[in-house]
Amino acid sequence: MKKDNSIKFTLLTACKNEEVDIHLAIKSALSQTYQNKEIIFVDDSTDRTKEIIREYTNKGVILIDGDGKGCCQARNLGMKRATGDVIVFLTADTNLEPHYLEKIAPYYEKGYDYVMVESYSNLDSAYSRFVQAEHLLTASKPDYNPFTTQGHSVRRLVALAVGGISGGEYPVNFCRDWTLVKKMQEQGHKGVINRSILVSHKSPDEFQEYWRVQKTRGLMSAYQPYFLFHRTIPYLFVKFVVKSFLSFLHFVLVIPAMWHTAKLVRHLSHPVKYFSPMYYAYFIHRYARCVGEWQGWLYILHFDRKLKASS
């Protein structure tokens, strides 16, 4: 086994139009005290993100132009270009503490192939507190088994051997990063979840960004099953009708929504104080998801009609 800094880490960030937050990932990567590492950004931006990254190339930061096919393809490209033994995945707003690589290195020295950690977000608004509480509620379930976390890492050659992140080229971008560790697990590779290792990230603190993020999750609920799992348009229609109706009942009946909110605030420092703001953030979360799902379904419907018309 490789020991004492002989494992080489690649800190890999796929990004697009992240000029506001990209400094967090850059700072996190450069601040790592572990010496044997490389820092790669695969970027598809049209804003100043590339320009900001280039300011750090004299400090060893490597910038790779993406092919415009989304973050999953960008991560696959980064893994192929990397020279590290282990890939650590960052997003633009990931904030690693300086000794992060020293904390995960022992697992790779022991032969593990992937390491999941614990994510936590800023708690500056009802929106960011909801994101954190929702995560903690999910993570408290006995069957919790994440396939991605902030700062999760994989052994590069194993990741490439299972085919990287699944999927090909699509007319829309949707997240499928989780398929990598899922395939590694299914093929018997050894992994660990250490929730005592913490990685922070920035969650939305204002309505417009929160709405965008939650609606995007709804879009993914349409795009992923259609393009990746080949679910039919009628199947998705029925699914979203049922989900929308249940969401409507959830809040009309009040008690189900209040019960879920009560479970959320148990993970916060002042449950009574935060109950009303959390109820509001939860309502926006469910509403935005429904809007995103139906927008995604309409896009798929138009896409399918164009496809049939051109064939």
pLDDT of 2 higher than 60: no
pLDDT band at 28 (very low <50, low <70, confident <90, very high): very high
- Using 50, 70 and 90 to split pLDDT, how confident is the model at 224? very high
User: Would you say residue 292 has pLDDT above 60?
Assistant: yes
For residues 49-64, average pLDDT: 96
Domain borders along the chain are 9-201, 207-310
Task: Kindly indicate the confidence band of residue 1, based on its pLDDT and cuts at 50, 70 and 90.
Answer: very low
- Copy the structure tokens of residue 2: 């490789």
When pLDDT is averaged across residues 269-290 and rounded to a whole number, the result is 97
Average pLDDT for residues 178-202, to the nearest whole number? 96
pTM: 0.93
**pLDDT (0 to 100) of residue 195:** 95
User: Which of 164, 61, 141, 155 is CA-nearest to residue 110?
Assistant: 155
pLDDT tier at 4, thresholds 50, 70, 90:
low
CATH placement of domain 9-201: 3.90.550.10
Minimal CA–CA distance to 132: which of 268, 256, 287?
A: 268
CB distance 184 to 162 below 8 Å: yes
Distance (Å, rounded) from C-alpha 33 to C-alpha 135?
29
With tokens 């022991």, the residue in question is 110
Q: Is 63 helix (H, G, I), strand (E, B) or coil?
A: strand
What average pLDDT does the segment 214-241 reach? 97
Enumerate the β-bridge partners of residue 41. Answer: 13, 63
